[in-house]
Structure 1
Amino acid sequence: MHALSATALRSSFINVSTRERAALVIPTDIDGRDWDGLDYVGWRDPKSPLLGFVVAEIDGVPVGLQLRQAEQPTRSRPQCSWCADVTLPNDVVFFAARRAGKAGRAGNTVGTLLCADFQCSRNVRRLDPPAYLGHDAQAARDRRVEALRTHVDTFFRDLRDGA
Structure 2
Amino acid sequence: MRSLTEQDIRGSFVDCSKGGGQASVRTPRSRGAGLERAGLPGLAGGRPDRSYLVAASEGRPVGVAMRFQPARRGFLHRSMCSLCLTTHPRGGVSLMTACRAGAAGREGNSVGAYLCTDLACSLYLRGKKVPETGLRFEEALTLEEQIARTLNNLHAFLDKV
CA-atom RMSD in angstroms:
2.9
- Report the equivalent of 1:8: 8
Task: For 2:159 and 2:79, locate their aligned partners in 1 and report how far apart those are by CA, in whole Å.
Answer: 24
Structure with the greater alpha carbon radius of gyration: 1
CA contact (8 A) 1:2 1:36 kept: no
2:51 is the counterpart of 1:52: yes
What percent of counterpart residues are identical? 27
TM-score, structure 2 normalization: 0.81
Instruction: Give the aligned partner of residue 103 of structure 2.
Output: 102
Do the aligned residues in 2 keep the contact of 1:73 with 1:93 (CA within 8 Å)?
no
Tell me which amino acid in the other structure corresponds to 2:51.
G
Alignment partner of 2:53: what SS? strand
Q: Which has the higher helix share?
A: 1
Q: How many pairs does the alignment contain?
A: 152
Matches of 1:87 and 1:51, distance apart in 2: 19
Counterpart amino acid of 1:100?
A: A
2:131 aligned residue: none
Specify the alignment match of 1:92 in structure 2: 93
Map of 2:159 onto structure 1: 157
Amino acid at match of 1:80: C
Counterpart for residue 79 of structure 1:
80
Q: Does the CA-based 8 Å contact 1:44-1:52 persist in structure 2?
A: yes
Corresponding residue of 2:61:
62
SS at match of 1:41: coil
Return the alpha-carbon distance in structure 1 between the equivalents of residues 35 and 69 of structure 2: 29
